[in-house]
């Protein structure tokens, strides 16, 4: 299968996927790197701050490195640019996910399937270009945790499991048909911060196995893909919800849930 990667993160899932794809039977046509994802309008940003409060928004900014920068550093994830250069994988940089340059790059690579690895919202005129559409890896279980940051809301709900989902991209955020999903134990560490970083690393690595499984068995999994039923969408927690997460993390860790 001929695939193309679309990403807007320099060191994340896409960087882990490149060497795995090069060792597989699949043809990595190229990588498209968007310098910016789909920007959120000021009305949307303001609405979110109203929902979660200013403290929640500031705390969300503080936590942001837990999900990308810190796992990338601990896993020594290399940059997209270096990996593509060394492996002679064509790399096209575009200004944004929804730009005309992205459309042109996707048509240039003429891939069977697009892989969205580390992006936000993708317009239909982008995800509909590859013959078999585009897949996304959501590092949480769907449809129960749409839009959720990995692990945090599972802890809020008192769970000792997290997971990832490989699904088709459609017009809804994290709403496309599910091809594959897998549960992963939450590694409860001394602090919520450590638990999220450690759990995120495990999810990133585990999801690479799932991605290759999906590509190896794509025809069957695509035929048997399951539309998502009723679920719930999440966003950055309010400060009060974050305090509840801290409390439940202490409870679950004390109960010996997946302790490391």
Within a domain: 139: yes
Q: Number of structural domains, the chain?
A: 1
Residue 89 lies in a domain: yes
Q: What is the mean pLDDT of the chain?
A: 94
Residue 51 to residue 247: CA distance in whole angstroms: 22
Please calculate the CA angle 205-29-167 and round it to the nearest 5 degrees. 50
DSSP secondary-structure letter at 177? P
More confident residue, 148 or 220: 220
pLDDT at 258 > cutoff 60: no
pTM check: above 0.75? yes
Residue 260, domain member (yes or no): no
Q: Which helix (H) or strand (E) holds 44?
A: helix 42-67
The two structure tokens encoding residue 153: 């809301």
Residue 130: CATH number of its domain: 3.40.50.170
Q: DSSP character for 21?
A: H
Q: Can you give the residue range of the structural domain that contains 162?
A: 2-254
Query: 49 in a domain, yes or no?
Result: yes
What is the Cα 38 distance to its own chain's centre? 15
Decide: 206 and 27 in contact? Cβ < 8 Å: no
17 and 28 Cβ atoms separated by less than 8 Å: no
Asked, for residue 162, whether it belongs to a domain, the answer is yes
The answer to the question of residue 227 being in a domain is: yes
Backbone phi and psi for residue 44, each to the nearest 5 degrees, phi listed first: -65, -40
pLDDT tens string 202-234:
999 999 999 999 999 999 999 999 999 888 999
| 259 in a structural domain | no
Q: 59 pLDDT exceeds 60?
A: yes
In a domain, 181, yes or no: yes
Digit-coded pLDDT (tens) for 82-130: 999 999 999 999 999 999 999 999 999 999 999 999 998 899 999 999 9
């Amino acid at each position: 299968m001929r695939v193309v990667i679309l990403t807007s993160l320099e060191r994340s899932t896409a960087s882990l996927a490149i060497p795995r794809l090069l060792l597989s039977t699949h043809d990595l046509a190229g990588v498209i790197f968007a310098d910016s994802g789909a920007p959120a309008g000021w009305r949307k940003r303001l609405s979110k701050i109203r929902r979660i409060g200013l403290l929640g928004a500031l705390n969300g900014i503080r936590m942001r490195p837990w999900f990308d920068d810190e796992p990338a550093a601990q896993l020594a994830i290399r940059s997209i640019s270096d990996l593509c250069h060394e492996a002679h994988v064509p790399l096209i940089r575009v200004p944004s996910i929804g730009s005309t340059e992205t459309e042109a790059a996707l048509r240039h690579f003429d891939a069977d399937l697009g892989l969205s690895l580390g992006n936000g919202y993708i317009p239909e005129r982008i995800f509909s270009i590859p013959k078999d559409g585009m897949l996304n890896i959501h590092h949480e279980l769907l449809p129960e945790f749409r839009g959720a940051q990995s692990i945090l809301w599972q802890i809020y709900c008192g769970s000792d499991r997290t997971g990832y989902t490989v699904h088709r991209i459609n017009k809804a955020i994290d709403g496309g048909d599910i091809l594959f999903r897998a549960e992963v134990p939450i590694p409860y560490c001394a602090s919520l911060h450590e638990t999220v970083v450690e759990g995120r690393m495990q999810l990133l690595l585990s999801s690479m196995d799932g991605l290759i499984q999906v590509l190896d068995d794509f025809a069957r999994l695509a035929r048997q893909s399951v539309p998502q039923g009723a679920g719930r969408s999440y966003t950055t927690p309010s400060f009060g919800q974050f305090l509840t997460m801290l409390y439940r993390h202490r409870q679950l860790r004390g109960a010996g849930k997946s302790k490391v």
